[in-house]
Structures are given as structure tokens and as C-alpha cells.
Structure 1
């Protein structure tokens, strides 16, 4: 039995949510186990939301967009959770940017839940427990979950792996952006949205829409039942947001009709398991006392060209395996 009443989560009790998140983020074995027990009890109440991953180029106004879009959804009767993933301090592992200060209206609304998360050094800048916090939010009745990336490294791939729909925000100056955007990001996108389509940038935004549509013609669709679409909006003027939500609803309906929705979710769950296994093994390896003692010497030998990286890796793995597998 969990130390937190699951019904408190189902009723959207914010204090219970805060305690539950503390449990699932804990590194203390007993508290972590309590968090897992709670999640197991709540599992039947999860999975009903639309999970939206959002990334964008620097200066595109992600937080302004998320707040404007989130408030529009709340006006339409939805409950919105935002899991905003910040760059972490390399010393403390904690958030150094306060997303709540960038989304003041949304974070203070009773139908919204805004949670800045530390990335804790995990590949892609995504908090290791973001997926589990997402499940808690779903159990609490939030029917739209937005996960914002830090926009560096492989964070886009990480967020796309936990989202139903992946949205890439771009600026109106398409010519420059098309040169700089990684092809892999376009391949991940279900929607490309040109933000800041306002004022004297409206014409630029229209041109950007055409250029991105042309660029997408060269890419093979990643989904059988959906081709990525390009839209424009202005978070500042709050235009294009209703149309964007309508397209998202079409996306969900088309994938559910084709059966791709459930297949995608089940594949994500299996990949989630393997990512956790990879992370636990990596941490166990790095915490091994003998390996910690050997690493400076081994790294020095590699840098000086005295040892092959493959041979060095095998020697360290042998140390780890010998301590884990009897007779190895």
C-alpha cells in the first residue's frame, strides 16, 4: 500500500502531487519503491492525455507560446500540465531557470500544473523521471501534457520518444533556419509551427511556411497515417492557436483510427524500460570503486595513444563483470 492515498492524486490534490513527485524523483531506495507502488496503483488511470513534445530554435519564444496555447486550451475546458525541462547546474543538478517565472499566468491557474524539472545530467537534458511525473499528471486528470525540451544535444529525440505528437517551433526567417536546422529534427516533427507571425514578420512567416512545406516533401514520412504539417501562429497576438489545436485533434483521430496510436504508445513503454536499464547499468558501472580508481590511468593512456579505446573499454568492463557475475 502506498504512503499517499491514490484517490488524492485522482482528485488532483496539489499537495499529494508534490509529495508523489518527491517520491518518484527520490534516490532513496525505500522512497523510490513507495513511488513505484503508487504509480502501479494509478496505472489504470493513465494514458488518456495527449502528450505533446515541444522544441524550438533559440529565441523562438517557447515559453510564451506554451503559456498562450495552454491558456487557450484551458478556456476550451482542458486541464494542462507543462513539464518544462531546464538546463541544470553542473554542480547541484538543479534547475537554474525558473519556468514558472516565464509562465506566470499559466502556472497560477487552478486548471494548470507547471513543473520545472532538473535534467540531472541525463542524455538529452530530459529529467530521468519526466515520464513518471507525466503519468502522475494523467492520473490527476490533466488531459494535455506538454513537455518542453532544453533544445540541446539529443534532447529532442528523448522528448519525441515520450510524446504522442512532436512539435518544432521555428522563426519566420526560414532561409536562415533551413540552413541551420538539423535534418533529424525535421524528420521527428509531426508539426512545424512558425511562431511570431505578427507585425512586419507576417510576410516572412508565410514564406517560411512554403519553404518548410517544400523541405518536407524531400523527407520520407515517419508515420503511415500522417504527413507532417506546417502552420503559423503568433503567441503574442494569440492568432493561429485554435487552428493548431484542431490539427492536433485531427492527428490524434487519424492515428487512433489507423491503430497506430496504441502501437506507438506500447513501443514507447518498451523503449522506456530499456532506457531505464541502460541508465541504471551506466550508473552502477561508474560508481564501482575499482573502476573509479582505474579511470584516470586508463583515460591518460588513451589520450597519450598508448592504449586502444576498445581494449580499455573491455578491461574496465571485465572489472565490472567480475564483481557482478560469480566465476567471471
Structure 2
């Protein structure tokens, strides 16, 4: 096995708060420990890092992700049966169907494929993945197989910076708060998915401010998709506080937008950042172009801990579980 020459690796920040491009490394080849450590430091520092035109195959994608953790068996939509890739259960395809022809795995398209695409296209709120789980994903590696020349950008935002942006008195107040995260069905167009969510309800109480297990940073841990109410407050009080926090998390100065090209890879820390999907896929004439196809691998997370040292507590549902290593066909 040949280890990639990583002496030229460089981390280039995109702004003062979030996002960095990493150059001088070939992710299609095995990485040495020093490079893995450098990439990990960059992710912890900049919350999201980007690699251009790497053109990984499925096996290389999974191998890269496994250098940083254990793939998680659970995604936001249950179950994965709509999008299974044979031999690689760790990988979750994210597809926007422009043509409505064949599914990326090669099987014919089904009605749920279109509905799932519509759901993903509409999910443009800032969010963390898997916060309705007791142990939300620690991080994720997303790669583009195909992408549009115009639009389709993914946003990433630094939640440690958002926390520090609050006045000190407000930071002290929210340090002790805890909130319910619940997977709802209101805006999900597919009845099959709604039935599955009703059959497998998930809800959990997380700290509003999470202490990062590796860096010790405090970061806001709320999002508009799944955070419903703050424990101990009235509904009106809870909504006002949450709206204030949501507004802080969504300030443009904490964010960066990544424009995808085929072969690009994004790697982000789900514990200290928010991300959002593109809102423009249906507005730029993309119906005449190819499908937009990305592949996602989530890494298993730990149970969040608040400033007071208390961990999250589950109300409904089971924690995420790891996948066993998939066969690469070698």
C-alpha cells in the first residue's frame, strides 16, 4: 500500500469564522497519521473544510471517513431502504432529480424518489444533523458526483462564534437551558416517510449550549428544524428565546457558502456548526441539466453535554448505532 505524499498540505481559511480549503492532499490514496491529524485540527478550528476535485469512489469515500470515526447507521430520514447502495450501507445518496429517469443505483425511479428529492430541496433551514437522536452525528463527509454550474451551494455556520456573539449576560442565561428536539412530519411530502416517522418517533432533551468533547468550546446547539421548546419556560417565552437564538445562529458573518464541482468533498463538524442545503435548485432553469447527486457518510457521535456537565436525555427512540465495515469488493 502506497501512502500519499502529504508534505504539501495547506489549510486556507475562507473567512475569519468558518470554512477552509485544504490543498496538497490526494484523498484517493491512504493518508498518513500526520495528515489525518492536520485535517482533524482544521475541521475543529474551521468547522467545515473543503477539498476540490478529488473524485473519490465509494470505497475511497468510506475509507477516508473511517480515518476520523465510525460511520453512523441513522440519518434524518428513516429508513435507508429508499437509497441503499449495494455493498456500501454507510453511504446515503442525496439526489435532486432533474430528469426523473433512472435512480443513481441503476434501478428504475419510484414515486418516493421524487418525493424525497422534493423534501431535500425544501430543507433549506440552518440545522445540525440528527439532533433528534440521543447521540447526534459527530461529523459528516459529503462528496459531489455531479453538480450544477450555477447555484446549488451549501452553507456552513460556526456555532461557537454564534455563542460568543451573544452578550455575556445572555450567555450566562442560556448556559443553563435545555430544549426538546423532535422529528416532526408537518413539512414532509411523502406519506411513506410520515408513516415511518410515526412508527419510529424520536425526541430528546439537549443542552441549548453544548460543550465540545474535543476542544472544550461552548456552542449553540439549537436549530429551526428540530428544536421545539425550552424546558421550564412557557410556550411564548420559549419561542421568544429560541427566535433570538435562531437569529444569532443565522447571522451571515458566521457563515460561508460552498459551490460544488464534480469530485469536491466537504467535511464538517456537526457538533459545533450548522449547515443548510441550497434554496435555488428549482429556480435557475436546472430542469434542462443533469441530476445533482451527492454522497453522504455520517460519523457516529457521542451524547452532548451541557455547561453544567449534564448529558442529554432521550424521550423517545433509540441512539444511533454504528455500521459494520462494508465490503469494498477487493
> Is the TM-score greater than 0.5?
no
TM-score normalized with structure 1 length: 0.26
Structure with the bigger percentage of helix = 1
TM-score normalized with structure 2 length: 0.26
Structure with the bigger percentage of strand = 2
Larger radius of gyration: 1
Task: Name the structure, 1 or 2, with higher relative contact order (CA <8 Å, separation 6+).
Answer: 2
